[in-house]
């Protein structure tokens, strides 16, 4: 999962008049220049900019600075070139980490779900440029083709689930006093038959929830 932000918008955009036909992969700049996510967004959104893209992406976060339903000037193939007119441009972190690939692939998956099975092209497909450097478009395609099911959680989701379970179990033990009960009768530490009956019913729900979470 990535965090999507739409707080910045590039002024260099136009109404799209042709159907979206592809996705173009870019990198922000050469890695040795140490470009940053925020710096790239700011540069593409400055008032005097002469270039734009639809998305800026890196591990865990994506900024949409031009709507895919509008034209962004990213392909370098002219005012009416097919790259600019029919392609969605994604600016990627040049370090190309596993997380960067995963986020870009997830974005590609979402765009294909919305606009059809769009092919990927490197920026250099449209014009003479080194961009997108060493980015492996076949790898992005393979990752984008994968699906995440309830039984296949990301490491971040698994960590959150483990934390939730670790919080639920001591609350359950304290609430129902299971470890402190000599008779093992699930009596509440609060006491009272009516309240105990209500809590015992709640206990079953909490236990079922914990087991369900553990099974995911």
- What number of other Cβ atoms are within 10 A of residue 65's Cβ? 26
Q: Classify burial at 185, counting beta carbons within 10 Å of its beta carbon; exposed 0-12, middle 13-18, buried 19 or more.
A: exposed
Determine if the peptide bond prior to 93 is cis (ω within 30°). no
Quick: pLDDT tens for 169-197.
Answer: 776 666 665 544 444 454 444 445 555 56
Do strands 55-58 and 87-92 pair parallel, antiparallel, or not at all (unpaired)? parallel
Tell me the C-alpha distance between 130 and 106, whole Å: 24
Two structure tokens written together for 41? 């967004």
**What is the DSSP-derived secondary structure letter of residue 13?**
E
Quick: pLDDT tens for 46-104.
Answer: 999 999 999 999 999 999 999 999 999 999 998 889 999 999 999 999 999 999 999 99
Band of residue 166 on the pLDDT scale cut at 50, 70, 90: confident
- Quick one: which of 161, 170, 148 has its CA closest to 214? 161
């Amino acid at each position: 999962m990535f965090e999507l932000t739409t707080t910045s918008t590039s002024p260099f955009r136009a109404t799209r008049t042709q159907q979206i036909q592809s996705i173009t992969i870019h990198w922000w700049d050469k890695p040795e220049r140490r470009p940053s996510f925020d710096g790239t967004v700011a540069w593409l959104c400055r008032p005097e900019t002469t270039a734009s893209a639809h998305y800026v992406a890196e591990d865990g976060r994506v900024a949409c600075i031009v709507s895919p339903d509008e034209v962004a000037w990213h392909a370098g193939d002219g005012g009416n070139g097919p790259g600019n007119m029919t392609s969605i441009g994604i600016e990627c972190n040049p370090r190309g980490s596993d997380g960067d690939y995963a986020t870009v692939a997830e974005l590609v998956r979402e765009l294909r779900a919305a606009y059809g099975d769009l092919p990927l092209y490197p920026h250099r497909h449209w014009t003479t440029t080194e961009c997108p450097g060493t980015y492996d478009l076949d790898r992005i395609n393979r990752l984008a083709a994968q699906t995440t099911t309830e039984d296949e959680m990301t490491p971040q989701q698994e960590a959150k689930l483990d934390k939730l379970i670790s919080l639920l179990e001591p609350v359950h033990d304290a609430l129902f006093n299971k470890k402190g009960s000599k008779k093992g009768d699930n009596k509440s530490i609060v006491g009272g038959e009516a309240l105990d009956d209500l809590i015992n019913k709640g206990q079953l729900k909490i236990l079922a929830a914990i087991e369900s979470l553990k099974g995911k």
